[in-house]
Amino acid sequence: MVCTAESVAAALRSVAAVVAAHRDELVRLDREIGDGDHGENLRRGFDALVSRLDDGALPASPSAVLRLAATTLISTVGGTAGPLYGTALLRASTAVGDVAVLGAAEVAAALGSALEGVVARGKAEVGDKTMVDALTPAVAAASSVAATGGGVAEVLEAAAGAADQGAGSTVPLVARKGRASYLGERSAGHVDPGARSTALILRALAEAAR
Ligand code: ADP
Ligand code: MG
Ligand code: MG
């Protein structure tokens, strides 16, 4: 895959479609250990992004597309996850710089910066039962594939697989951050909705890159 502004925009449209298709599932997961708005929050944000991509000119670089996604999510998603995903995208945008075509190393670096942004803002660690439990193994897998010569599609495939496993790993955990932490021990036995949405987003990006 050649990772241009156009293909990054197309990949984000795919993410929007996947988020919309899983809106009800994410609402259900968030109803179990939160307030039930995660699926709708994300659907609204990614829908707004698709509208902005439809209405405006294509941003000039992959970085600019990611920045548009960041500012759109920050201004439309709300809740806890909106600013976290927005920060992730903003850091990713900065990390890739002004190149016209992203390679595997840039994509892996963008994921790493996205995680750093989420952690800087939300202060969650692995094991706290948040999106960090999906994103952390995804970054590790992406970095190792990029370091051993994998292409963009392989980097994203590895990230998606690791994120899926990471999301699954949140089931037995007791939440220590966010709304689910108010439930204490009762938060155990459920997938964290933000970890699930992170896995879905990375899966959509991997599919788009194939
Ligand atoms: P809210 O809890 O405000 O309704 P959402 O339902 O949109 O927000 O998002 C909830 C998700 O946000 C959780 O499932 C979790 O993955 C993530 N989250 C919550 N707090 C944090 C945090 N401090 N760091 C990282 N992720 C967090
Ligand atoms: Mg919620
Ligand atoms: Mg909420």
CA 62 to ligand 2 centroid distance, Å: 30
Q: Do 175 and 197 meet the contact criterion of CB atoms below 8 Å apart?
A: no
Q: Which pLDDT value is given to residue 42?
A: 97
Q: Residues 25-82: pLDDT tens digits?
A: 999 999 999 999 999 999 999 999 999 999 999 999 999 999 999 999 999 998 899 9
Residue nearest to atom 4 of ligand 1 (CA): 79
Instruction: Tell me the pTM.
Output: 0.98
Q: Residues 120-144: pLDDT tens digits?
A: 999 999 999 999 999 999 999 999 9
Q: How many independent structural domains does the chain possess?
A: 1
Q: What are phi and psi of 3, to 5 degrees?
A: -100, 80
Q: From residue 151, give the alpha-carbon distance in Å to each of 32, 44, 134.
A: 38, 32, 21
State the average pLDDT over residues 179-191.
97
CATH number at residue 119: 1.25.40.340
- Structure confidence at residue 162 as a pLDDT band (50, 70, 90): very high
What is the token pair recorded at 169? 């790993």
CA 79 to ligand 2 centroid distance, Å: 6
Residue 190: CB atoms within 10 A of its CB come to 23
State the average pLDDT over residues 144-170.
98
- Residues with C-beta less than 6 Å from any ligand 1 atom: 30, 34-35, 37-38, 41, 79-81, 84, 118, 122-124, 130-132, 177-179, 192-195
Q: Which amino acid is at 97?
A: G
Q: Which pLDDT value is given to residue 178?
A: 97
Contact partners, residue 155, CB within 8 Å, separation at least 6 = 104, 107, 108, 142, 145, 146
Q: Which of 29, 80, 131, 136 to mutate to test the pocket of ligand 1 (most atoms within 8 A of CB)?
A: 80
Expressed as residue numbers, the domain containing 111 is 5-209
State the average pLDDT over residues 93-118.
97
